[in-house]
A = this chain, B = another copy of it.
Amino acid sequence: MQDQLIQWRRWFHQHPELGFMEYYTTYTIGKELEALGFTVHIGREALASSARYGVPAPPLLHQQEKKASSLGVDADWMDKMRGGHTGLVATWDTGKEGEHKGFRFDIDALPIHETELEAHLPYSEGFVSSNPGVMHACGHDGHITIGLGLAHYIAAQPSELTGTFTLLFQPAEEGGRGAKAMVDKGWLTDVDSFYTSHLGITPMKVGTVAASVEGFLASTKLNVHFRGESSHAGMKPEDGRNALLAAATASTQLYTIPRHSEGPSRVNVGKLEAGNGRNIISDTGYLELETRGETGNINNFMLQEAKRIIHASAAMYNVEATIEFVGESQGIVCDEDMLSSIPLEEDSYMNQILTSAKVSGSEDASFMINEVQAHGGKATYMLFGTALPFNHHHPSFDFEEDALAVALETYIHILQGGTTT
């Protein structure tokens, strides 16, 4: 099946779409799954519309919707997905009693211009992004591929399978924007065991699998809009209400939030844009920022401090600040033993299973993992090793396609056994 995996991966790599605009991606996955016999839920059936974070502005959505239609997405699919309701949930019932297993694959790409150099395989092999400025630079093309591979295996109805399966193809993982909307729709409330995974992240060779991770930080993503009053900087400096300075002050001050004694925390302002012209007191300021914490408690501390600092910075210059929540993820504690029953055989793609790997960063799969565990289920986040010539989110990011077979083999073992064997 390895050829098929590579073919899929390259197709999705060539057709990247940004979060909540994965119209063509969702449609392509959905048609495949329907053909296999899965029950497919899309649009507002798949996710809770109001629980989505950071949905793009209507004109942007509209433009992508037109493009998807022109690429051949059916009108009835478009009707359901319109307005950023991408992603899908596919369910399968073996008809035999057994566990309800949940699997999640994230499907969105990043706003990055992909490298066009011979040394970059997607370019030299001709499957570089066909969507300028958008790129699968975090391996989600591989994640979709693994999901499709798993679906094909299930649909082949091997006799050993029991119970039911839910496959979540989640939109908008980047920025922590899509997972909660699927959780809020209720898909995870009676899942017994839940699995999701990432290619790469921690340096491990192809063939190595980490059964769980520790270190994902809870995180909140915010945009801030400052609104002041402009004035001529030479003629009437005293009439301005300087939104540029409010944004600048908030930026430096946010980094003064104290360290927390209970564990790691983070804050970052990653973007600042303010002002119009050199000789005008600026009436606008804009920030993109995030807080993180090892626990929800620590992240919440960071968030509350950040909000106070932002409003105080606005007050400092007599301007108004509006804080917009655009994404969120939680910390997680994986069940570490969920791959413990998997045997390593001589001819397998897998050749080492680590109990746990240390990571950092944040992931909105955390909402799903915590939801499953809150209802008594078990859940884990796995990693599949691959050499990485460039880091995730780099314009030259690429992974070893051999890792796809390792991942699929792992998921097939999970289907067969899981935590109960």
Contact = CB atoms under 8 A, between A and B. Distances in A.
Of A234, A249, A313, A360, which is in contact with the most chain B CB atoms at under 10 Å from its CB? A234
A245 interface: yes
B244 A251 contact: yes
A120 interface: no
B252 A245 contact: yes
Contact of A272 (B240, B248, B256, B279): B248
Contacts of A265: 259
A362 B234 contact: yes
Interface string A258-292: 11111011101111111111111110000011101
A407 to B, nearest CB: 22
A282 B275 contact: no
A141 to B, nearest CB: 20
A233 B301 contact: no
B261 A256 contact: no
- DSSP majority for the A interface? mixed
Interface string A386-400: 000001010000000
Contact of A308 (B233, B272, B318): B318
Contact of A235 (B236, B261, B270, B288): B261
A119 B258 CA distance: 34
Interface in A297-321: 301, 308-309, 311-313, 315-316, 318
A393 B233 CA distance: 12
Q: Which of A251, A311, A313 has the most CB of B within 10 A?
A: A251
A268 to B, nearest CB: 3
Nearest to A216: B234
B273 A278 contact: no
A361 interface: yes
A258 B238 contact: yes
Interface residues of A, number: 65
Given A248-B251, A308-B318, A361 B232 contact: yes
A252 to B, nearest CB: 5
Contacts of A237: 258-261, 266, 268
B275 A272 contact: yes
B275 A361 contact: no
Nearest to A232: B361
Contacts of A362: 234, 279
B259 A264 contact: yes
A27 to B, nearest CB: 27
Contacts of A248: 247-249, 251-252, 272
Interface string A204-219: 0000000000000101
Nearest to A175: B278
A325 interface: no
B282 A270 contact: yes
A392 to B, nearest CB: 8
A282 B271 contact: yes
Contacts of A276: 270-271
In the complex, the 5 A-B pairs of residues with the closest C-beta atoms, listed nearest first: A233-B268, A248-B248, A255-B256, A271-B275, A312-B316
14 contacts: A217-B234, A219-B234, A221-B278, A232-B361, A235-B261, A238-B262, A240-B258, A245-B256, A259-B259, A259-B265, A268-B280, A270-B279, A271-B277, A272-B282
Given A248-B248, A277-B288, A278-B290, 19 more contacts: A221-B278, A234-B361, A237-B259, A238-B301, A240-B258, A245-B252, A245-B269, A252-B256, A259-B266, A270-B277, A270-B278, A270-B282, A271-B275, A271-B277, A271-B278, A273-B273, A308-B316, A309-B316, A312-B313
